[in-house]
């Protein structure tokens, strides 16, 4: 199944680079990527190397980041509906990035990417707030977690739109960013996000065994030697970091962190040693395909990729919600 998902992600990558207003034959694509495209038309080479290849890399990385963050949140919160967008984490990161745009902060200062730092802090503060609101007498109320996330997300989204409205000179830039995009914001963005994605994925995968222990409960995990509270804090920070990096370069793209983990769970099961890489591959493939659809559905016009993922993820979330409520009612009757 992992090989199947890897093949699906590779196929989605080829489609993301080949399909568009100008069709790039796979043979020409292979020549260009292998450095042997001297016989390929210059305009074709520029389309591949300067436009579509960076965008495909962005789609793969952002999809993997959001999906991995979703797996972590669902694992340590033990809630199948947990997802960065629904919990308001993406909106918190979005508010921080909006503030950075309005303040006119450059994306890079002294070789340091400033905006991702803002996004990480915004995501971390928002996740902490949602976690606090969902507690009652010191215990996390899973049933209120999503409600708290939706309320916080709605408030932060309204605050973002308020800031965008009062900043007329930046309104269109902020609005375009809020709807989600995969176009690199600066030259070379796709290179550093590729590195960050690899490091973030490795850090998440390293927690797979402890996440497996949490599946049976915190007390049982502690009896197995897991430092539960320290692990939860680490997963808090890691999920916020992954989401913050994704939002800082792509804007608000929802439901990838919900659909991809559940798709992977159906294919490889609940063992996080397989689930984490499977979800990352599924998220990468999903977002690249969504970007292809965004480019082609109303060609030559282009939809924001966040709109496409919302159209797919919204009904998916409703199905999961009804299933979750049904399971809770069955447990209550017993």
Residue 64's nearest CA partner among 283, 275, 286 is: 283
List the structure tokens of 251.
């804007």
Q: How far apart are CA 45 and CA 43, in angstroms?
A: 5
Of 116, 90, 276, 119, residue with least CA distance to 201: 276
Contacts of 118 (CB under 8 A, 6+ apart): 96, 97, 99, 100, 105, 248
Nearest to 259 by CA among 236, 288, 282: 282
Q: Provide φ and ψ at 182, rounded to 5°.
A: -125, 10
Beta bridge partners of 139: 136
CA pseudo-torsion sign 305, 306, 311, 315:
positive
* 136 phi, psi to nearest 5 deg: -140, 115
Distance between start and end Cα atoms, the chain: 36
The residues spanned by each domain of the chain are 54-284
Distance CA(77)–CA(215), nearest Å, equals 9
d(CA 313, CA 66): 13
247 to each of 117, 148, 184, 274, how far by Cα in Å? 11, 21, 12, 25
Backbone angles phi, psi at 85, to 5 degrees: -70, -45
Q: What are phi and psi of 117, to 5 degrees?
A: -65, -45
| φ, ψ (nearest 5 deg) of residue 135 | -95, 150
> CA separation (Å) from 142 to 85, 135, 166?
17, 8, 37
Instruction: Report CA Rg, the chain.
Output: 20
> Partners of 113 in the beta sheet?
108
Distance, in Å, from the CA atom of 252 to the CA atom of 37, rounded to the nearest integer, reads 36
Query: Smallest Cα–Cα separation from 66: which of 216, 244, 194?
Result: 244
Cβ-count burial of 131 within 10 angstroms (0-12 exposed, 13-18 middle, 19+ buried)? middle
Q: Is the dihedral of CA 203, 243, 105, 179 positive or negative?
A: positive
Digit-by-digit pLDDT tens for the chain (334 residues) are 889 999 999 999 999 999 888 888 888 888 887 777 666 777 888 888 888 899 999 999 999 999 999 999 998 888 777 888 878 888 888 898 888 888 877 666 655 567 778 888 888 888 888 888 877 666 666 667 778 888 898 899 889 888 888 887 777 777 777 788 888 767 777 888 899 899 999 999 999 999 999 888 888 888 888 888 888 888 888 988 898 888 888 888 888 988 999 999 999 999 999 999 999 999 999 999 999 998 888 777 788 888 888 888 888 778 877 776 677 666 555 6
54-284 classified as CATH 1.10.3470.10: yes
């Amino acid at each position: 199944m992992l090989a199947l998902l890897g093949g699906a992600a590779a196929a989605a990558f080829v489609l993301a680079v080949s399909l568009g207003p100008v069709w790039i034959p796979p043979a020409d694509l292979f020549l260009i990527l292998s450095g042997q495209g001297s016989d390929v038309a210059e305009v074709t080479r520029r389309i591949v190397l300067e436009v579509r290849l960076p965008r495909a890399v962005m789609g793969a990385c952002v999809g993997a980041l959001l999906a991995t963050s979703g797996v972590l949140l669902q694992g340590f919160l033990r809630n199948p509906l947990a997802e960065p967008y629904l919990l308001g984490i993406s909106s918190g990161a979005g508010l921080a990035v909006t503030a950075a745009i309005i303040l006119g902060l450059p994306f890079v200062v002294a070789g340091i990417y400033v905006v991702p730092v803002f996004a990480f802090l915004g995501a971390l503060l928002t996740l902490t707030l949602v976690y606090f609101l969902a507690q009652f007498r010191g215990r996390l109320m899973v049933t209120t977690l999503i409600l708290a996330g939706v309320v916080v997300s709605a408030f932060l989204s309204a605050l973002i739109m308020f800031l965008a409205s009062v900043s007329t000179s930046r309104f269109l830039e902020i609005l375009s960013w809020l709807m989600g995009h995969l176009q690199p914001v600066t030259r070379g963005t796709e290179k550093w996000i590729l590195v960050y994605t690899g490091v973030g994925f490795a850090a998440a995968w390293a927690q797979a065994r402890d996440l497996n222990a949490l599946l049976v409960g915190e007390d049982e995990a502690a009896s197995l030697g897991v430092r539960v509270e320290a692990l939860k804090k680490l997963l808090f920070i890691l999920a916020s970091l992954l989401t913050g990096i994704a939002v800082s370069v792509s804007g608000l793209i929802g439901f990838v962190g919900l659909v991809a983990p559940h798709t992977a769970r159906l294919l490889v099961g609940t063992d996080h040693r397989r689930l984490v890489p499977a979800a990352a591959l599924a998220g990468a493939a999903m977002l690249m395909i969504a970007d292809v659809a965004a480019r082609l559905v109303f060609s030559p016009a282009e939809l924001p990729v966040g709109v496409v993922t919302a159209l797919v993820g919204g009904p998916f979330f409703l199905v999961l919600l009804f299933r979750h409520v049904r399971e809770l009612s069955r447990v209550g009757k017993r």
